Each structure stands twice: as C-alpha cells, then as structure tokens.
Chains A and B, each alone.
Chain A
Amino acid sequence: MNASAILFAVLALLPLPALAQGFAGLGTESEAYAPVRPGTPITFPDDHGPHPGHRIEWWYITANLTDADGAPLGVQWTLFRQANAPDDAGEGWESQQYWMGHAAVTTADAHHHAERLGRGGVGQAGARAAPFEAWIDDWSFESAGEGWSPLRLRAKGADFAYDLTLSTDAPMVLQGDGGYSRKSDRGQASYYVSQPFFTVSGTVTLDGAAREVRGRGWMDREWSSQPLAPDQTGWDWFSLHLESGAKVMLFRLRSDDRPPYVAGNWIDPDGTSTPLRPDEIGMEPLATAEVHGRTVPVDWRLRIRDLDLTARALNRQSWNGTSFPYWEGPIEIDGTEGGIGYLEMTGYAPGE
C-alpha cells in the first residue's frame, strides 16, 4: 500500500545518508523518472519484476497465522527498491539501485524485527519477474514451482526466522482505479496491485523454538516515482480478511493543514475490486498506547459501507525499530463482522 510514503520517509531518514541524499532532490528531479499515469495496463508476470525506471517500489507481504496451539501471530516481509538516479545505467557497484529488507514476527507478547540493506548491480539484492524471485541476502520471496504460485518466503533475524509457503489460485487484485492508486488530491499516485487471497503454511522459529503455523497472507506490490504531498506527515493503513471472505484495504494519509486523505478498496471473495468512496469509509482511533515514546492509536473503529467494526492490535508494541521506525502488526476485527488483518502506522513523532 502506502509504502510509497514509507520508502520516502524511510530513506529520507536513514542514518546512511547516501540513500537520503538520493532523495534530497526528489521534488525537482521526479520528472526524470518514469511517470505514473491512470489507465496504464498492468500485466503479469512482467509486473512481478522490478520497475527500475520508477524511483520507488516494494514487495510487501503480511500474514495472519496461528500455531498448533491456536496462538495467533503475524509475519511481515518487505523488500524496498529505490533508484538514486533516473536513467540508471550503472553496472556493478555503479548501479544506483538500492535495496532494503524489513522482516518481523509478532506474537501477543513479543515483536521481533530485522533489517537488511544492499546495493543492486552485484547480486546481493534484486528481483526478477520470471522465474519470480525478490531477494536481499538470505531473505527471499520466490516461486517454488512452475508457475508464480506457490511461493516460498524466508527471512531471518537475530532471534527469529521463518520459512513459509504461500499459495493461491486467485488472480492479482488491482487497487485504486484499475491499479492507479491516488495518494492525494494533487496528483500524487502509485501503481498498486495486491494478492490478498494467499493461504500460508510453514515454520516460524522464535528464540530457537520452531512452530508449525498456518493462516492467511496478503501481498502488496506498489511502484511509483511521485512522493506524497509535502504536507502529508504519515498514514494509517489497514488490510482486512473478513469472515465473509471479502477483503478490505483502507488508508488514511494524515496532513498538517488539511483533513486526512482517505481511500480504500472493497474486494469481493471472487476478487472483484471496487474503490470505496470517501463517504463509505470511517476511521476513528478508539485507544492509544505509549510505544517507544510515541502515542500511537492501537484500537480503531472502522466503518466501511454498512459495516461497523472494531480493530484491536494483537500486540500494542508492534514496533519496527528499523532505520525509519514505524508500527506494523496483526489486528483482530470485531463488530458487525469478525476478521483478522494488519495495521501499519507511520509518522507518529516521539512526544506526540
């Protein structure tokens, strides 16, 4: 989803200023990168691969799982790509493609996360459309058979690891308007497609103990060249697996001086994706928690069309203390309909 903003912010604040530097001239140079235009067809398998002409891109997987004892847990795997120069023709170390991986495992009482950085051009990190693979170091998301699905998802941190299989027969889902996802009223947008129908099984190892897990997975693919509007400070993003089999994607981009920009898509169990009108969406924090010195809304009231839902964090301290820190964790849905999902929140400054 809005990882466009994530990446922007992440890289801008990265303590490795080389990356940040690439973004210093973002506003002025973005015209030199490939544009995002409505009506552009999205085709697979090509669009599973990287789009180096666009400045930013990511492969984003979240999964709501349960172990053999029925205990819920969440898994996140993200690979970001950023081009530091338009028309990047560099080879080897001269390549200006930079990669960053984030991985996390969340249980009700613990949150583990890790980060990897790497440069394109030498093979340490990258992605290709077919046979599909996206990787950084020993973390990878790759086709495990003849077709795109099933896929194998692996990552490892100091105190966690996972090795999961994701499979689905469902086609990819286009978010926004045919894959064109607006991020503001002023033209900022990205290409955005999802695969919310994964079934997931495999092993999650926490502190040396392996446990068998199964559950649902959601993949987002997004690429863009245009950053958020300058006044947009952060966002709250939801992905919901409802009991009815429908899926919902919602986001709210917060601004200093305007009302939030709210958008979302309703995805029927058969994969039909319909943009939600702003008046069909209500997002309202119910409770906050102190997380790493920030006040973060961890319980929400969500109104989607005629549904009135409550979303609660499985673990209120789902904090990714990565180069650019943000909140990302599994949620449980109650109300007029039950469900599970993932919540991502960025831009909550310390002391706020």
Chain B
Amino acid sequence: MTRARHALAALLSHWRRKPLQLVALLGGLMIATALWSGVQALNAQARDAYDRAARTLGGDAVPSYALPGGERFGQDAFVALRRAGWAVSPVLEGSIRVGERRVRVIGIEPLTVPAQARMTGAASGPVDGTLFEGFMAPPWRAFAHPETVAALAGEADLPPLTAQGDLTPDTLLVDIGAAQALLGAPGQVSRLLLDPDAPAPTVALEVATDVPLARAETEAQGDLDRLTRSFHLNLTAFGLLAFLVGLFIVYSAIALAFEQRLPVMRTLRALGISARMLTGVLLAELLTLSLLAGIAGVAGGYLIASALMPDVAASLGGLYGAEVPGTLSLRPAWWASGVAISVGGALAAAAYSLAKTYRMPPLASARRHAWRAAQGTWLRAQGALAVALLLAAAIFMNCTTGLVAGFAGLAALLLGAALALPPALALILRAGQALARRPLAQWFWADAQQQLSGLSLALMALLLALGANIGVGTMVNGFRDTFTNWLDQRLVAEVYYNARSDAQDAEIAAWLGTRDDVTALLPTLTAEERMDGLPVGIVGFRDHPTYRGSWPMIDIAPNAFDRVAAGTAAFASEQLANRFGLSVGQEMTVGGWRGTVAGIYPDYGNPKGQVSLAYDTVADAFPDARRGGTGLRVVPGATAAVVAALGARFDLGDNLIDQKSLKAYSTEVFEDTFAVTAALNVLTMGVAGFALFMSLLTLSEMRLPQLAPLWAAGITRRGLAGLEMAKTLAMALFTALLAIPLGLAVAWCLVAVVNVQAFGWRLPFHLFPMQWAALVLLAVATAGLAALWPIDSLRRMPPVRLVRVFTDER
C-alpha cells in the first residue's frame, strides 16, 4: 500500500506542475457531464409534467360524463344524478385571459370530488388543516403552480392565489362556485366525474336526468408521451453530442498527461512498481478525479437545465400544447446517473492510455512525443475509420427507417466527419506546403502539420459544433420560411371565430348574413378519430373558391375539390400520409368513412394526423362531430370593422381573432418551438471553443522547442506570435469551411430523415449562405479568442526561456 501511495504521489505531482491539464481534464468532464445531465433533467422534468397532466382530475381512472359536443350544461343534472344515487362531482373548465396570459380554470367541488381526481395536497400527502381555508366561500381561493402565482400576482378580479407545486402551470384550481364566477357561467358545469369507488348506480342515466350526457372519451394519455418522444430524442441527441465533444477534451487531456508522465512511469516501473499496480494507481486517480468532476458537472447540469427549462417549456407548449413548468425540481436520480456518466466517460476516454500503461515494458523509452511519431499511421487508420463511419451513415439514412436509425445515421455522419477532419486538414496543409516558396512559409505549413495532432481533437470538436450549427440552422431557417409561406396560404379568411354554443353560432350566422361587408362564411366541423390507435383529427369544410384558390398541396389529383365536395374523396395531411403510407389515388378508411385520397397537404406544427372532408360528409359519417371554428371572408379593408362589430355584439372573448393576430400568434409559437435548439447550439459552440482554448494552451508550452530556433534565427517574438495566430486562424478557417458540407449533410439528414420520422413532415431544402458566412466568422473569432492568451504570453515571453530551450536537455 505504501508503494502505491508513493506511486500515486509521484504521478499526482504532474498535475501540480501542469495545472492547466488538470483544468482541461476536470473541465472537460464537468462540461460533458453537465450538458448530458442537464438534458436528462429537462427530459425528466417534461415527462413528469406529462404524467401530472395525465393525472389531472384522475385522468383515465375517473370516468367522466359530458355532452357529446363538449358544451356546458346546467348543474341541475348534477343534483338530479346525485339524488338518483350517482356519485358524480361537477367540474367546470374554461380559460380566461389575465393580462397577457391565457389561464386555464378548473372548478371542482371538494366535498364530492373522487379521491383519485384530487389535484393537489389532498391527493399526495397528509392534508394540511388550513389547505382549503376559504376555498369554498367568497372571495374564494385559487391554487396554482408557484410560477403562475408569481406571474399573476397583483392581477385584479382573481381570487387570492395559493402556490401548489404539484399543479400544472397556467392553471387555476378553484371551487366550482369560483369557476362559475370567473368564467361567467353561473349554474353551468362542463362535465361530471363519477367516483370509481362508489357503488354502481342502479338508476339509468337517462332516467335520472334528461340532459343527454355521455361517457366522455378521455384523450388517451399515452398520446402526449408518444407525440413528444421525438422532441425528447432530439434533446437527448444534442446532449449526447455535447457529451462527446466534452469527452474529446478529456481524451486529449488524458493522452497528453500520459505522454508527459512517461518518464515518471518508467522510473516507477524501474523502481519495482508492477504494471498492474501502476495501472491501478492511475485508475484510482482517474476515478477520484472523474467523481469530483461528475459531482460538479451535475451541479452545472442543474444550472444549465434551470436556465433552459423556460425554453423547453415554451418549445413543448408550442409544439404539442404540453404544459410544463418552467422551473426545475431536483431529483437524486440525476446525481447518480450524472456521476456515473462522468466516471464512465472518463474511463472510456482513458481506456487507450490505461491499456498502454498496463502493457508498457519496464524499460520503455521515455522519449517524448513517442506516440506522435506514429502520426502518419494514425492518420491513415483514422481516415479509414472515418470512411467506414460515413459509409455507415449513408446506409443508415438511405436503407433504414425509424427515428432511432435517423439519429444513428446522424451520429455516424458527425463522428465520421470529425475523424476525417485531421487527414483532410493534413492534405490541405501538405498542399499549402507544396505551394510555399519562402522558407518561413514552408516552415509555417510544416509546423502546422506538426501541430495538427495536438490540435486535431479540438478542431474536431469545433467541426462538430459548426456542423451541427449549420445543419440545425439550415433546418430551422428553412422551416421558418416554409412555415410563414404556408401560413400565408393557409390562413386566407380575414376573421376567425368560434361560437360558444350552437345557439350563439346560429345567431352570429344570421347577424352576419345581414352585413354586406361579409362575403362568405366558412364553417367547419371537427371530430376525433383513431387510425391504428393513433389520434387523427377530422375536419369538415365547405367547398368555396377560397380553398380552391389557395390551399397549398403537396400532391393533388385532378378535380380533387369536386370529388371531396361529392363526399367520395378526402385530403390527408402529410403527417398522416407518411404515417400510413398514403398517396393520392389510394383508398383510405377513417371512422365510418371510406373513399380515396385526392390530395396531400402540409400541416406543419400539428402533432396529430388530419383528414379534411366535405362539411356534409363529416356531418353524416361522424356522429360525434362538433362545430369547429368559422372563417369569415370580408370585403377588403373591412376586417377591423367586422371584428369590432362582432366582438361588441356577441360575447366571444378569445374565440374571435383576425388573420393578422392569428399569424402573429402562430409565428410566436414557431419561434418558441426552436428556442431550446438555439440555446443548445450556442452551448455546443461554447464547449468547442473551450476545447480549442485548452488545446492551444497546453500546446503553447510544448511548442517552445519548435519556436526557439526560429527566434534564434532572428524572428521577433511579436513575429512569432503573429505566425502562431495566423496558423490557428487558418486551421479554424479550414475547419469551418469543411464544416459547411458537413452541416448541409446534417441539415439534409434532419429535413429528409429525422423530421419526417419525428414530426411527419418533410420540408423543402433551402440554403442560407449568409448563415454559413456568419458561422465561419464566428469559428475564426472563437479560435482567435481561444488563441489570444497563449499567443500573448508567447509575445511577452522573457527571452531567457527561449534560450533555455537550447541549454536544457531535450
């Protein structure tokens, strides 16, 4: 043991002399762990929110009775059913606008609500005796998520708010009486929950009440989970990418340390320390360091996740309507998994060095840079591996389907490209050297090649970050263009409204009929169906030139609109067509309707598939169909007047919106959707910058032997620094230029493979050269910044250190 301790002390002394390497090792591990565990935290938090949403009012476990159309009904039905022995409890749901926020209001009746449907406190733990204080009496009391409480603080016209962390954000849980007041629905309820534990009622529902209630089909709760899976896979992939970039740093730090500690290790072996003990000591050192870095990394991951959570919440809300709190709660499981991945990652990064230590003969040469001598061989091997990976990527993307295969292809592409970078750069540099005439220029290129192996890992990280950036940027920008364009074509009616009841709808229609600034009413019907267990939205629309003229279609049959109007054909959304392999002319069945597919249209942003049919077809074939929104065509310039008049005449609230606001809202949702992607992109770039900085820093010391002769030959320190800077910038520039084709390949993979799998839509492929230019500049600037300090210290280096290079034994 004493021996082992002495060996450890000898080896540890290295870090004292090279604190920067220690920083790189710990920092790399920390960053890798932080990004990975941060992403995991985000995923876990979101999933937790889905679970909670699924449990809202008991979810599937509590049967619910409502009107088929979802309209509200009088609470007398509740009383009548209770008096007939039905253990029902009333619920009134709706939303109100408070300032800029739309808040969901859930009104419950605490005395009768089934235990499974309790949403807070009482559901999960011992009841605090004052929890429901004032809940059932004016001025009432509302429970809300702490964030929502903070956001709504000071709003008038709301009951006093009490924070309850177990509620979904932007939701107010109130007494049914308070809900009726807030929603302006006195005596009204949305649905009745039936206590699943109560004895089965003996009186039939129709006998107990003449309100035609029916058992409501709750949205299958797996849906949200499934719909968001691709989003989370996306996040996980980003986390993995960041982790890999971090491991590059770790690998290079460990490899460098190994090489620099060779003399010490040789001496230790000569002193009788066995290879096994030496490896064991190194392993112990590594475990300790990675454990420390892991703990720090998880803490960092928590910070990252906390910072990103609002973006993730916005993305999920925008994409799937999933309500996820924007703040993070801490779980012990992350700590364990985060530390484990840090240790595992460190071991993986160190495996090569450890194996070499174990197999090292006792009298191995202590020659420095021994492992670099093999650079040529190494580059060739790396090149071969890169080619293999790129081939695998091509196969994955072209010959397999599925989201996981798509991501695997993406991973192979990125990794292959990264591995291909050093050989590619070597080629470029060799070409540069061949072209160079002046000695200094020749030295410049030759030295750059020499430097390549030390920098290659950092450059690979930079390439990955840039490639991912260009790829994701191309996809997002392309999507934005397509989406905006599509919105313009799709939202053609000037005004949209959705009446609160059939009676109001008829009233509005009659009233609009008298106005001569309204040219057309385009009502819709909607229904929910399932195809193969997947939720599919059914939309019924009235045949009108508005649709014929502007509806963007990916593919359409001749006379398609006539055939749809006749009820024999349907339009299918791209997501649906992709999911079920539908194409124009094919037969399809949905619910009770059967016919041909006459067209396929993009339906960006909709997580569910959609089928569009003629209004009357939906009315006939889908008995559960209910009134959807109505579009209004108005004469030019009359929009504001119509909206104002409609709003003044009818109580429509948020159910009335003009085209411009709707577009603005949709675009806002879109931007939110990619908020987290953008944030992770920036982080990955940051990691790459750090990798570059660490590599340059460690290299700068080792490179004195190369620079000293030049100095001796008369090149000033300032000149040397300039050369070094030029070299770094050139390498970064080459890397950035190589990143462009990689980024385009990534973008293609995202657009044509991953997006289709994840969201069901394929986007047109747009190129954005300005974005590339910006990124190339950013890369060069990052490299310049990273090189600034090492090169500055070279510029100001005392000449004595340069002289000492010649006197010291090399």
- A-side residues, CB < 8 A to B, are 15-18, 20-21, 84-85, 90, 92-94, 96, 98, 117-119, 122-124, 135, 137-138, 156-158
Point out the residue from B83, B127, B130, B180 that lies within 8 Å of A15, measured CB to CB: B127
Point out the residue from B78, B112, B199 that lies within 8 Å of A157, measured CB to CB: B199
The residue among A84, A92, A96, A135 with the most chain B CB atoms within 10 A of its own CB is A92
Point out the residue from A17, A92, A124 that lies within 8 Å of B132, measured CB to CB: A17
A residues less than 8 Å from B130 (CB atoms): 17, 21
B136 touches A85 (CB 8 A): no
B186 touches A119 (CB 8 A): no
Question: 8 Å CB contacts to A: which residues of B117-145?
Answer: 122, 127-138
Q: A17-B127, A18-B133 are in contact. Are A122 and B83 (CB under 8 A)?
A: no
Query: What is the CB-to-nearest-CB distance from A308 to chain B, in angstroms, rounded to a whole number?
Result: 45
Q: A17-B128, A118-B112, A123-B79 are in contact. List 14 more A-B contacts (CB 8 A).
A: A15-B122, A15-B127, A92-B177, A92-B187, A119-B109, A122-B75, A122-B78, A124-B79, A124-B112, A137-B82, A138-B82, A156-B85, A156-B199, A157-B199
B residues less than 8 Å from A123 (CB atoms): 76, 79, 83
Q: A90-B138, A93-B176, A156-B199 are in contact. Are A17 and B131 (CB under 8 A)?
A: yes
A117–B76 CA distance with the chains assembled, in angstroms: 17
A124 touches B78 (CB 8 A): yes
Point out the residue from A85, A117, A158 that lies within 8 Å of B112, measured CB to CB: A117
A122 touches B84 (CB 8 A): no
17 pairs, CB–CB < 8 Å, chain A vs chain B:
A16-B132, A17-B129, A18-B111, A18-B132, A18-B133, A18-B136, A84-B137, A92-B177, A92-B186, A94-B138, A96-B137, A119-B109, A122-B78, A122-B79, A137-B82, A137-B83, A138-B84
Point out the residue from A90, A117, A135, A138 that lies within 8 Å of B111, measured CB to CB: A117
Size bracket of the B interface: 20 to 34
What per-residue 1/0 map shows which CB atoms of B188-213 lie under 8 Å from chain A? 00000000001100000000000000
Query: What is the CB-to-nearest-CB distance from B130 to chain A, in angstroms, rounded to a whole number?
Result: 6
B residues less than 8 Å from A98 (CB atoms): 111
* Total A-B contacts with CB atoms under 8 angstroms apart: 77
A98–B134 CA distance with the chains assembled, in angstroms: 14
Question: 8 Å CB contacts to A: which residues of B772-789?
Answer: none
Query: What is the CB-to-nearest-CB distance from A12 to chain B, in angstroms, rounded to a whole number?
Result: 10
Query: What is the CB-to-nearest-CB distance from B143 to chain A, in angstroms, rounded to a whole number?
Result: 13
Query: What is the CB-to-nearest-CB distance from B494 to chain A, in angstroms, rounded to a whole number?
Result: 41
B110 contacts chain A at the CB level, 8 A cutoff: yes
Q: A117-B111, A123-B79, A137-B85 are in contact. Are A21 and B177 (CB under 8 A)?
A: no
A residues less than 8 Å from B76 (CB atoms): 123
Determine the residue in chain A with the shortest Cβ distance to B203.
Answer: A138
B175 contacts chain A at the CB level, 8 A cutoff: yes
B133 touches A118 (CB 8 A): no
B199 touches A158 (CB 8 A): yes
A118 touches B111 (CB 8 A): yes
A316–B110 CA distance with the chains assembled, in angstroms: 34
Determine the residue in chain B with the shortest Cβ distance to A19.
Answer: B111
Query: What is the CB-to-nearest-CB distance from B544 to chain A, in angstroms, rounded to a whole number?
Result: 45
A123–B122 CA distance with the chains assembled, in angstroms: 26
Determine the residue in chain A with the shortest Cβ distance to B201.
Answer: A138
What per-residue 1/0 map shows which CB atoms of B657-687 lie under 8 Å from chain A? 0000000000000000000000000000000
Query: What is the CB-to-nearest-CB distance from A88 to chain B, in angstroms, rounded to a whole number?
Result: 9
B residues less than 8 Å from A157 (CB atoms): 199
Determine the residue in chain B with the shortest Cβ distance to A119.
Answer: B111
What per-residue 1/0 map shows which CB atoms of B165-181 lie under 8 Å from chain A? 00000000001110010
A93 touches B85 (CB 8 A): no
The residue among B132, B186, B198 with the most chain A CB atoms within 10 A of its own CB is B132
Q: A93-B175, A157-B199 are in contact. Are A20 and B138 (CB under 8 A)?
A: no
A residues less than 8 Å from B87 (CB atoms): 137
B133 touches A21 (CB 8 A): yes
A135–B82 CA distance with the chains assembled, in angstroms: 11
Query: What is the CB-to-nearest-CB distance from A3 to chain B, in angstroms, rounded to a whole number?
Result: 19
B199 touches A93 (CB 8 A): no
A residues less than 8 Å from B175 (CB atoms): 93
Point out the residue from A20, A21, A90 that lies within 8 Å of B134, measured CB to CB: A21
A residues less than 8 Å from B132 (CB atoms): 16-18, 21
Determine the residue in chain A with the shortest Cβ distance to B128.
Answer: A17
Q: Which 6 A-B pairs have the closest CB atoms?
A: A93-B177, A138-B85, A117-B111, A123-B79, A18-B132, A137-B82
Determine the residue in chain B with the shortest Cβ distance to A100.
Answer: B111
The residue among A17, A84, A156 with the most chain B CB atoms within 10 A of its own CB is A17
B residues less than 8 Å from A158 (CB atoms): 198-199
Determine the residue in chain A with the shortest Cβ distance to B92.
Answer: A93
A residues less than 8 Å from B137 (CB atoms): 84-85, 90, 94, 96
A residues less than 8 Å from B198 (CB atoms): 158
A residues less than 8 Å from B138 (CB atoms): 90, 94
A residues less than 8 Å from B133 (CB atoms): 17-18, 21
A16–B135 CA distance with the chains assembled, in angstroms: 11
Query: What is the CB-to-nearest-CB distance from A224 to chain B, in angstroms, rounded to a whole number?
Result: 22
What per-residue 1/0 map shows which CB atoms of B72-104 lie under 8 Å from chain A? 000110110011110100000000000000000
Query: What is the CB-to-nearest-CB distance from B546 to chain A, in angstroms, rounded to a whole number?
Result: 45
Question: 8 Å CB contacts to A: which residues of B56-78?
Answer: 75-76, 78
A184–B454 CA distance with the chains assembled, in angstroms: 94
Query: What is the CB-to-nearest-CB distance from A95 to chain B, in angstroms, rounded to a whole number?
Result: 9
Determine the residue in chain B with the shortest Cβ distance to A136.
Answer: B82
Query: What is the CB-to-nearest-CB distance from B59 to chain A, in angstroms, rounded to a whole number?
Result: 22
A84–B134 CA distance with the chains assembled, in angstroms: 10
Question: 8 Å CB contacts to A: which residues of B712-767?
Answer: none
Determine the residue in chain A with the shortest Cβ distance to B198.
Answer: A158
B residues less than 8 Å from A135 (CB atoms): 83
A135–B136 CA distance with the chains assembled, in angstroms: 21
A138–B208 CA distance with the chains assembled, in angstroms: 11
A15–B112 CA distance with the chains assembled, in angstroms: 13
A123–B133 CA distance with the chains assembled, in angstroms: 23
Determine the residue in chain A with the shortest Cβ distance to B136.
Answer: A18
Determine the residue in chain B with the shortest Cβ distance to A21.
Answer: B133
A residues less than 8 Å from B135 (CB atoms): 18
Query: What is the CB-to-nearest-CB distance from B637 to chain A, in angstroms, rounded to a whole number?
Result: 47
A9–B87 CA distance with the chains assembled, in angstroms: 26
A94 touches B177 (CB 8 A): yes
Query: What is the CB-to-nearest-CB distance from A35 to chain B, in angstroms, rounded to a whole number?
Result: 23
A123–B81 CA distance with the chains assembled, in angstroms: 11
Query: What is the CB-to-nearest-CB distance from B108 to chain A, in angstroms, rounded to a whole number?
Result: 11
Q: A84-B137, A93-B180, A119-B109 are in contact. Are A20 and B129 (CB under 8 A)?
A: yes
The residue among A20, A118, A137 with the most chain B CB atoms within 10 A of its own CB is A137
Query: What is the CB-to-nearest-CB distance from A259 to chain B, in angstroms, rounded to a whole number?
Result: 32
Query: What is the CB-to-nearest-CB distance from B134 to chain A, in angstroms, rounded to a whole number?
Result: 7
Query: What is the CB-to-nearest-CB distance from A341 to chain B, in angstroms, rounded to a whole number?
Result: 30
Point out the residue from B82, B131, B186 that lies within 8 Å of A118, measured CB to CB: B82
A119 touches B187 (CB 8 A): no
B residues less than 8 Å from A122 (CB atoms): 75, 78-79
A residues less than 8 Å from B122 (CB atoms): 15
A residues less than 8 Å from B127 (CB atoms): 15, 17
A157–B122 CA distance with the chains assembled, in angstroms: 23
Query: What is the CB-to-nearest-CB distance from A313 to chain B, in angstroms, rounded to a whole number?
Result: 27
The residue among A15, A118, A124 with the most chain B CB atoms within 10 A of its own CB is A124
Query: What is the CB-to-nearest-CB distance from A274 to chain B, in angstroms, rounded to a whole number?
Result: 41
B residues less than 8 Å from A20 (CB atoms): 129
A83–B176 CA distance with the chains assembled, in angstroms: 19
A158–B133 CA distance with the chains assembled, in angstroms: 30
A18–B176 CA distance with the chains assembled, in angstroms: 14
A residues less than 8 Å from B131 (CB atoms): 17
Question: 8 Å CB contacts to A: which residues of B132-160?
Answer: 132-138
A residues less than 8 Å from B177 (CB atoms): 92-94
B residues less than 8 Å from A18 (CB atoms): 110-111, 132-133, 135-136
A115–B227 CA distance with the chains assembled, in angstroms: 43
Query: What is the CB-to-nearest-CB distance from A310 to chain B, in angstroms, rounded to a whole number?
Result: 38
A15–B113 CA distance with the chains assembled, in angstroms: 13
A124–B176 CA distance with the chains assembled, in angstroms: 14
